[in-house]
Amino acid sequence: MEFRITHRATGCRVRTGEIRTPHGSFETPVFMPVGTQASVKAVSPEDLTGAGVRIILANTYHLYLRPGHQVIGRLGGLHRFMNWAGPILTDSGGFQVYSLTPLRTLTEQGVTFRSHIDGSTHFIGPEEAIDIQEALGADIIMAFDECAPYPSEYAYVQRSVRLTTDWAGRSLERKKRTDQALFGIVQGGMYSDLREISARELVALGFDGYALGGLSVGEDRTTRERVIQETIPFLPGDKPVYLMGVGTPEDIVEAVALGVDMFDCVMPTRNARNGTLFTTAGRMTIKNARYAQDERPVDSACSCYTCANYSRAYLRHLFMAKEILSYRLNTIHNLAYYSRLMADLRAAIREDRLTTYRASFYELQGKGIG
C-alpha cells in the first residue's frame, strides 16, 4: 500500500490523499460501506460502483464463522468470492468479540468465545486474526486488539492498552503476505494519557496506518472529538488515520476537520433499510404521509440511480408495502449521499475552504426538507 498526501491544509492535520492498493486506488478522506458478510446489504457490487463507492469493509469474525476463511481462500479470496474488484479492508474481529462480552473469556493469549450462530467454542488471538485475514486476501488488514467497554475503570483500560500493544507486536510478527497493508489500532478508552501511551507504543512498532478504536461505543460526541483531537498528534503525519465505526454525516465532517482520513459505519445502509434517507437538507423519514403523493426525488442535489428514476411517493409506497426493492433503492441513495459528502469534503480541503464548507453544511441541514 502507498499513501500519498495530495494537499495539506495550512496549520493543521487536515489533508487529502490517495491510497494505492493491489486492487486499485482511492482518494481520502474516504467512507467505507460495511459488507459484514462479504456483502453490503441489499446492493450489488455494480450498485456500489454506481453510488461512487471505491473501498468496502468486510468482517473477519463473521466470515471466519461462516462460510469460513479457508473456504474463501480456496475460492480465490474475498475479491473473487464476492465479485468486487476494488480495495477491501477487513477488521480484526476484536470489536465483534468485545460485543459478545457474556460469551467470551479473555486471556493474555487471546479470546475464547462462543459462536452467536450455534454456540460452538472458538479461539482467536493475534496470530489467528492475521491468518484469517491473510486467507481472506483483503488489501488492508487490522492488528488484533482489545476494545475496552464504555465506561471502564482506569485499571481495566490500562490492562487493555497493554494487551493491545502486545497483540499488535504479535500481529506484526505473524504477518507473511507482502501484498497486504497492516494497521495498528490505538486503544485507551476515554483516558488521554492511555491514548498517548497506546499511540506511542504502536508507532514504535511501525505500521502502515493507524486506527482509532474503542470509540462510538456509547460515549458522547464531545468526548469522542476530544479523544480524536488529543490522539492524532501522536500519530505519524505520513500515515493514514482511520476512525473505526463512525458515523453520522456530522461526525464525519468534524472528524475530517481534526485530521481523520478513513471512516466506516453501518449507518447509511442500516438507516436505509429502516426508511431513513440522508439528504443535503437533513434526514428524511420516507414513511411519513407527507410523501405519499410527492413526485420529487429524495434530494434534488443528488444524481444517484434512485434519485434519477424514482419519486418520494414511490419509495414511500415500497417501504410501506415492505417490498424488498425498497431496501435496494434506499441503500443506493444513502451510499451515494455519503460518497458525495466525502467528495465535497475533499474539494473543500483542496480549495482551502473547509471552514466555510462546514458552516454551509450545517446551514443546509438546519433548513429542513421541503
pLDDT at 98: 75
Domain(s) labelled CATH 3.20.20.105 in the chain stretch across 2-265
Please give the CATH number for the structural domain made up of 2-265.
3.20.20.105
* Per-residue pLDDT tens over the stretch 250-296: 999 999 999 999 999 999 999 999 999 999 999 999 999 999 999 99
CA–CA–CA angle 225, 231, 233 (5° rounding): 115
Q: Is the pTM of this model over 0.85?
A: yes
Which residue among 131, 139, 261, 264 is the active-site one?
Answer: 264
- Going by their DSSP bridges, the two strands 30-35 and 56-59 should be labelled as parallel
Residue 261 annotated among the catalytic residues of the structure: no
pLDDT band at 43 (very low <50, low <70, confident <90, very high): very high
pLDDT tens for 7-33 read: 999 889 999 999 999 999 999 999 999
102-115 pLDDT tens trace = 788 999 999 999 99
Q: Is the pLDDT of residue 370 over 90?
A: no
C-alpha pair distances (Å), 315 with each of 130, 157, 291:
42, 46, 9
* Per annotation, catalytic residue among 91, 139, 261, 299: 91
Average pLDDT over residues 137-151: 96
Percentage, residues of the chain above pLDDT 70: 100
Cα–Cα distance between 346 and 358 in angstroms, integer? Answer: 12
Mean pLDDT across 84-94: 95
